[in-house]
Amino acid sequence: MKAFTVSKAVTALMLAGLVLLPLYSQLSGNIFILTLFTRIVILALAAASLNLIMGFGGMMSFGHAAYLGIGGYAVGMLAQEGVGSGFIQFPVALAASAIYALVIGALSLRTRGVYFIMITLAFAQMAYYVASGLARYGGDDGLTVYKRSDFSGLINLSNRTQFYYLCLVCLFGVIFLIWRIVNSRFGLVVQGLRSNEQRMQAIGFPAKRYQLVCFVISGMMCGLAGALLANNTDFVSPAVMYWTRSGDLMVMVILGGMGTLFGPVMGAVVYLLLEEFLSQITEYWALIMGPLLLLIVLFGRGGIMGLLGRLNRG
Amino acid sequence: MLLVIEQFLNGLQFGLLLFLLAAGLTLVFGIMDLVNLAHGSLYMMGAYFAATFAAWTGSFLLGALLALGATLILGIVLEMSALRHLYGRDHLDHVLATFGLILFFNEAVRLIWGPAGLALPLPAWLTVPVPILPGIHYPAYRLAIIVVALLVALLLYLGVMRTRIGMLIRAGASNREMIGALGINIKLLYTLVFGLGAALAGLAGLMQAPILTVQIGMGENILILAFVIIVIGGIGSIRGAFLAAIFVGMIDTLGRAFLPNLLRQILSGAAASTAAPALSSMLIYLVMAIVLVVRPEGLFPANRR
């Protein structure tokens, strides 16, 4: 193993940038950039959770945005009912995501390949319609979260910098957890199942059970991102769960580099910055973004991480 | 009774429309092994083309015909310029690339036609109610959709099962190297199949256009329904797509029509009116879940081993 690689250097640079961002925002007086990056960090967390099952587990979930919505609605609904404590809201968000993932995963994992992609997509659409039907909680129009989660004065979520660091700590925590999972015996089994399920089963591993546990963990991580997102926008609506949102998450993972630890973070940063940048140049930014994605698929194998790896080899 | 018959016909009409969409999707997947998320965009383009050409020519039929040709050409151009390079790649690559195409098409439509929706008015002769049974009238246009879609389904079946091109298509689906080795221009064959799928999607879009508003993103909701259909029917199977489409069209339409009343019998009025819309939207996904639990490969899998 080489000690220094280009991708390691770029990753370290990116992480340092994320840590120091509030400082830059304060010094330059650019508050907008902190708001933008809070969103980026939260969606990077969601992308990292998707990467756990997609990159390492080979399970291509096309309905991951559902957890964003479930986590978000858990916070929003509890806030509406007068339960403002984050110590209740966040565990409920995680539990709700876990239960949803357990049911959806148990059903979806009976299928494979394209069927799996489509069934996860369809179930997320179902969650979308359920949220649209919640008349008590805003229905189609969505639900305004009037008060951010209250952590008994430990962290103030209304303070931009504190909230940003909370999101960043969550992101780093999740990535650390993914790193531990991937290198554990459990993670090795899941990765083994990706390459050859039959062989793993023949050795005696209950394949579906391992995959389901991994699926649920990933769902919970994404539910956490959802709870943070609801606090960030002070609003949650069915649109968070719409299937194109799941597509966005997938794009971030693949753009950054599927199956790499920091690829999804890089993908989220690049994708969302690109979106921001292009939308400042032209109102019709998607006209450029769309074909760009096509080109990335055609020529950019392994995403940004893959590209950096090739740079290193010269 | 009257209402039941009318809703049954509505379900059949919606199901047949979904079949046109699902047939193209399953054809392209079954033969080229390509997952095309942008299929819904072709449906949208069909509707926009029809609205535009009908306004130019002043004739609904002429507009529809021109729109059909335009989607066919668009499909062929799309295949030759972009999708051709995706054959043999991972399904995930397909999903990502065609997701990019959706962004592109939505934005292109916004640029060309503006953000507001379009309307495609029907000619007078298609708006009259037609007596179908003594005392029962049904809108002529919806009847026309049923007839056209049934005809197309029949042609498609005969084309795939009885013609030489259809034979090549089926052969290409099971073994693409072999058919290439036999001296068949497989590239051309694929382009044709994709163009056909695009035209089918365009046909569905232009026929739906007078019923709904023509608007950006109209293909996305219905695309998910088409996915549900090919998952239920079994991917790559046209027969499965046909039966599943009718089934889904019926369940969706009848659910929306009768579920609220049914729920009101069990629940209180307020609870029923809250639960009904969500439940009727969910109904087909529940059906899909049940089908997949019983038969993970769908009801009529194409390649039975």
- Cβ atoms A145, A235 nearer than 8 A: yes
Measured between beta carbons, the chain B residues lying within 8 angstroms of A60 are 91-92, 95
Measured between beta carbons, the chain B residues lying within 8 angstroms of A130 are 278, 282
A10 vs B182, residue with greater confidence: A10
Burial class, A180, CB count within 10 angstroms (exposed 0-12 / middle 13-18 / buried 19+): exposed
- Candidates B219, B208, B43; CA nearest to B119 is B208
**CB-based contact, B279 to chain A, within 8 Å:** yes
**Chain B residue closest in CA terms to A60:** B92
* pLDDT higher than threshold 90 for residue B75: yes
* pLDDT higher than threshold 90 for residue B30: no
Provide the angle, in degrees to the nearest 10, between the axes of the packed helices B218-233 and B186-208: 120
- Cβ atoms A99, A219 nearer than 8 A: no
B138 alpha carbon, distance to own chain's centre: 23
Size of interface A-B (CB pairs under 8 A): 134
**CB-based contact, B259 to chain A, within 8 Å:** no
Query: pLDDT grade, residue B305 (50/70/90)?
Result: very low
Q: Nearest CA of chain B to the CA of A62: how many Å?
A: 9
Using CA atoms, how far apart are residues B49 and B73, in angstroms rounded to an integer? 12
Q: Nearest CA of chain A to the CA of B201: how many Å?
A: 19
- Cβ atoms A88, A150 nearer than 8 A: no
Angle at B221 between CA B78 and CA B21, to 5 degrees: 55
- Cβ atoms A226, A240 nearer than 8 A: yes
**CB-based contact, A287 to chain B, within 8 Å:** yes
- Nearest CB partner across the interface for A251, out of B96, B275, B277: B96
Using CA atoms, how far apart are residues A146 and A164, in angstroms rounded to an integer? 19
Q: Nearest CA of chain B to the CA of A233: how many Å?
A: 24
Beta strands in A8-132 (DSSP E): none
- The pLDDT profile of chain A, 314 residues, written as one tens digit per residue, is 456 788 888 999 999 999 999 999 989 988 899 999 999 999 999 999 999 999 999 999 999 999 999 999 999 999 999 888 989 999 999 999 999 999 999 988 988 888 888 889 888 988 998 888 887 888 888 899 888 888 888 888 888 899 999 999 999 999 999 999 999 999 999 999 988 888 888 888 888 999 999 999 999 999 999 999 999 999 999 999 998 899 899 989 988 888 899 999 999 999 999 989 888 888 788 888 888 888 888 887 778 888 888 877 65
**CB-based contact, B77 to chain A, within 8 Å:** no
Measured between beta carbons, the chain B residues lying within 8 angstroms of A111 are 292, 296-297
Using CA atoms, how far apart are residues A163 and A43, in angstroms rounded to an integer? 14
Interface test mutation site (partner A, options B39, B92, B110, max chain A beta carbons within 10 A): B92
**CB-based contact, B293 to chain A, within 8 Å:** yes
Measured between beta carbons, the chain A residues lying within 8 angstroms of B88 are none
| Residue ranges of A 121-180 with Cβ closer than 8 A to chain B | 121-123, 125-126, 129-130, 132-136
Cβ neighbours for A246, distance < 8 A, ≥ 6 positions apart:
A61, A62, A63, A64, A65, A66, A121, A124
